[in-house]
Structure 1
Amino acid sequence: MKLFYAERIDWTQSKYEHMTMQALELSTEINEKHQIHLQLPDSIRAGKAKVIVLLEDVTEPQPKKKRVFGQFRGKIKISEDFENELPDDFWLGNDV
């Protein structure tokens, strides 16, 4: 079990704006009934808590499709001004 303390969390515009939070990291299993059971350390006092469940990604990777040479021939058009220099506003992050 890992114990994390957050002395100052920026909860701007939140009802928790002035609250000090404590976070616990516990590992558990989800059972067949879609339930989790946690045993907290005795140092944690009784009261309200919020629970966030982080699930490991267990999706199977999709097999890569083999690329076919020329499959996009005639479907892509490059603009006439493709090789023109971009304006300074573009590089400075300004709207062009």
Structure 2
Amino acid sequence: MGQRINRTEKLDLRLSKAAKQTLQAAATAEHRSVSEFVLDSALSVAEERLADRRAFTLGAKSWDAFIAALDAPPRRHARLERLFREPSVFDVKSES
């Protein structure tokens, strides 16, 4: 049997009666509690969504191009430089 994890956090959500019934039926079909079913399902989808943000693989040629882009000096952007010269809304002194 797997290692038991101490769960200390709680997540509440509102859902329709039909959605709850669907989750209950799916959990029952897998012989699990609704909490276990929802948590495992949500974590599985979350891991899929975050996977490409954590690691990615490149071939040798693409890797070399990626490293070259990282090592290249930044390009100048006239519009961006002009924007940074203008006063920010956060820099404006309030008239009290």
Q: Same fold (TM over 0.5)?
A: no
TM-score, normalising length from structure 2? Answer: 0.31
Structure with the bigger percentage of helix? 2
Structure with the larger strand share: 1
